Amino acid sequence: MKNPGGRRTARRIATTGLGVVAAGTFIAPGIAHAEPTQDEVEDRIEELNQEAATAVETFNQAEEDYEAAKAAFDELDGQVGDEQERYDELREKVQQFANATYQGGELNSTANVLTSDGPEALLEQNADLNYLSENQQAQLDDFGESAERLFALKDEAEKALEEAEEAKNEAEEAKEEVEEAIEEQQEILSQFPDSDASAEGGDDSAGQTPDAPVGSGGASAALDFAYAQVGKPYIWGGTGPNGYDCSGLVQASWRAGGVDLPRTTYGQADVGTRIYDMSAVQPGDILFFFGDLGHNGLYAGNGQMVHAPRSGRNLEVVGLAAYWGGQFQFAVRP
């Protein structure tokens, strides 16, 4: 999956475009800028909302990847524990025959194996101990291989977890920076007369209790669940029950309809039948928006959608005709 809206993108968004807000004005060192128009600010907010949708789905994917890496780490940690027991058992056997009958240089050589700097050096030293019996040599071989497995398991587990945690932190930073940029632009928009700083351009809200046809079977149950969540807050990474993000609402709704969907919009876009003709969608179908599929919602019929819009807004039912219809990419029928 591509990773749109990463940290560099978010930082650029937060500091470029229409400028940085300070006391309600735009400031750029050494440059005089004209006051932005209301249309310019609204256009910028629309762009940032798309970036925010991408950022939250990137964060969701990074969080999923982190949880998977954590589970793998825990599993490998258990294997490390098992291998550590085997390592200790073999080490004790090597110590026993090292201390049994050998003296002088031979004893020192065997003892050196026990204090070797890692498995590679240990195996190299083992190759030189040609005076050992076949059984002792086999035990020492097992000891070296066990040490090598132990080092490899530890390195693999730690590296995977560190990389996943770093990606998660970067994605979280990116979404926070985009959200801050949106708040700055909304502050500017609020200074214009007759402006609605909380509105997305062309949302064409249809209210919270639409008279929409309901699908059958799982689609009906999914929509019933989605309607029951209307009015709850949008929450970054939210999967309920107190709040949701867009893909979190879709996932929870279709779970109520008997279908387990992936967590992110990117994963949900690959489940089921794709429908590219808006006139062919049916209630309960999942609608996907923006070129990077950063947002989705459930089609409610009558040209309406139930969705979790963005931070600062509540879950709602909106009309598709004005804004969302122009951002539609395709629908998926689970």
pLDDT of residue 7: 37
Q: In the chain, which residue ranges form alpha helices assigned H by DSSP?
A: 7-15, 38-100, 104-114, 119-127, 134-189, 218-229, 246-256, 265-268, 324-327
CB atoms < 10 A from the CB of 324, how many? Answer: 22
Strand partners, 234: 244
CB atoms < 10 A from the CB of 250, how many? Answer: 30
Q: How far apart are CA 18 and CA 7, in angstroms?
A: 19
Whether residue 33 lies in the annotated active site: no
Query: 44, 175, 263, 295: which is the annotated catalytic residue?
Result: 295
pLDDT of residue 161: 84
Q: Which long-range contacts (CB under 8 A, 24 or more apart) does 108-116 make?
A: 113/140, 113/143, 113/144
Contact 328, 287 (CB under 8 A): yes
pLDDT of residue 196: 57
Instruction: Give the angle 221-332-215 at the CA atoms, nearest 5°.
Output: 30
The topology (CATH level 3) of 201-333 is endopeptidase fold (from Nostoc punctiforme) (3.90.1720)
Whether residue 307 lies in the annotated active site: yes
pTM of the model: 0.58
Residue among 305, 328, 320 nearest 230 (CA): 305
Whether residue 82 lies in the annotated active site: no
pLDDT of residue 50: 75
What's the chain's length in residues? 334
Query: 41, 246, 315, 318: which is the annotated catalytic residue?
Result: 246
Extents of the domains making up the chain = 38-105+117-191, 201-333
Query: 219, 307, 309, 320: which is the annotated catalytic residue?
Result: 307
Q: Which long-range contacts (CB under 8 A, 24 or more apart) does 209-213 make?
A: 209/317, 210/300, 210/302, 210/304, 210/317, 211/302, 212/283, 212/300, 212/301, 212/302, 212/304, 212/317, 213/283, 213/301, 213/302
- Per-residue pLDDT tens listing for the chain (334 residues): 444 433 333 333 333 333 333 333 343 444 455 677 777 777 777 777 777 777 778 878 888 888 888 887 787 777 777 767 776 776 676 666 666 544 444 444 544 544 444 444 444 444 445 545 676 667 667 766 776 777 787 788 788 888 888 888 887 787 777 777 777 776 776 777 765 554 454 444 444 445 445 556 899 999 999 999 999 999 988 999 999 999 999 999 999 999 999 999 999 999 999 999 999 999 999 999 998 899 999 999 999 999 999 878 899 999 998 789 889 999 999 9
Residue among 253, 185, 179, 157 nearest 19 (CA): 185
pLDDT of residue 130: 52
pLDDT of residue 303: 94
DSSP output for 273-300: EEE--GGG--TTPEEEESTT--EEEEEE
